């Protein structure tokens, strides 16, 4: 089973080595590891993706929670979360085939970030499965280089479904008067969108 573990840690030297050592010490292979600052420069978020036995992973999570520099540990396994991976991929793109490669990139909601005489570089982000599917489709064109960040993830926000109240009609409104539900705001003064 794939496990996504998000760990908030103090942004200090040696923390990454210590935490990855916990996994290595238990014979757990890390599929991907992404680390970056959060909204607080003193705190980093480590997102670790690993596959393996539930019991061993449970022990690793318990060990992580005991580390002094660890602030918070979350296991997103079985939870509703948003996960993304970023990929840069350089592909052989002779002029005769360049248009179809650009269309394929657009189909996967990616974008071309560099064009050379015979190569093209695209940027794509999304779930791992999406990037792997794109990689397989683009492989026949000839992949020159490929780099991925690894998965980052955050739990989804709590979803609240509310019944919107019906708009109140003013008793003084005439039947031929248009129904204005803007609350006194002139729509022409609002920005587009």
Best CA proximity match to 34, nearest among 66, 6, 57: 6
Classify residue 107: in a domain, yes or no.
yes
Secondary structure of residue 145 in the 3-state scheme: strand
Q: Where a domain ends, among 79, 113, 143?
A: 79
Is residue 68 located within the same domain as residue 96? no
Residue 109 CB partners (closer than 8 Å, separation 6+): 124, 126
Q: Where a domain ends, among 32, 59, 79?
A: 79
Residue 7: give its domain's CATH number.
Answer: 3.30.70.260
pTM score: 0.69
* Domain enclosing residue 18, as ranges: 2-79
Is residue 75 located within the same domain as residue 115? no
The 10s digit of each residue's pLDDT in 34-74 is 999 899 999 999 999 888 778 878 888 888 898 889 999 99
Cβ atoms of 76 and 153 within 8 Å: the answer is yes
Residue 90: give its domain's CATH number.
Answer: 3.30.70.1150
Is residue 49 located within the same domain as residue 87? no
Classify residue 169: in a domain, yes or no.
no
Chain mean position to CA 16: 21
Chain mean position to CA 26: 28
The 10s digit of each residue's pLDDT in 80-128 is 888 899 999 999 999 999 999 999 999 999 999 999 999 999 999 999 9
If one counts the domains in the chain, the total is 2
Q: What rounded mean pLDDT belongs to the chain?
A: 84
């Amino acid at each position: 089973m794939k496990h996504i573990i998000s760990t908030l840690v103090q942004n200090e030297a040696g923390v990454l080595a210590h935490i990855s050592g916990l996994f290595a010490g238990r014979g757990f292979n890390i599929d991907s590891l992404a680390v970056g600052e959060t909204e607080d420069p003193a705190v980093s978020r480590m997102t670790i993706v690993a596959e393996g036995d539930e019991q061993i992973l449970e022990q690793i999570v318990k060990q992580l929670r005991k580390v002094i520099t660890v602030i918070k540990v979350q296991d997103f396994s079985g939870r509703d979360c948003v996960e993304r991976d970023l990929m840069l991929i350089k592909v052989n793109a002779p002029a005769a085939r360049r248009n179809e490669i650009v269309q394929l990139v657009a189909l996967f909601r990616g974008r071309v970030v560099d064009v050379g005489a015979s190569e093209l570089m695209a940027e794509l982000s999304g779930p791992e499965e999406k990037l792997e599917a794109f990689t397989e489709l683009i492989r026949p064109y000839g992949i020159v280089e490929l780099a991925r960040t690894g998965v980052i993830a955050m739990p989804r926000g709590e979803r609240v479904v509310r019944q919107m109240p019906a708009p109140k009609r003013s008793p003084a409104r005439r039947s031929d008067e248009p129904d204005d539900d803007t609350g006194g705001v002139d729509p022409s003064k609002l920005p587009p969108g």
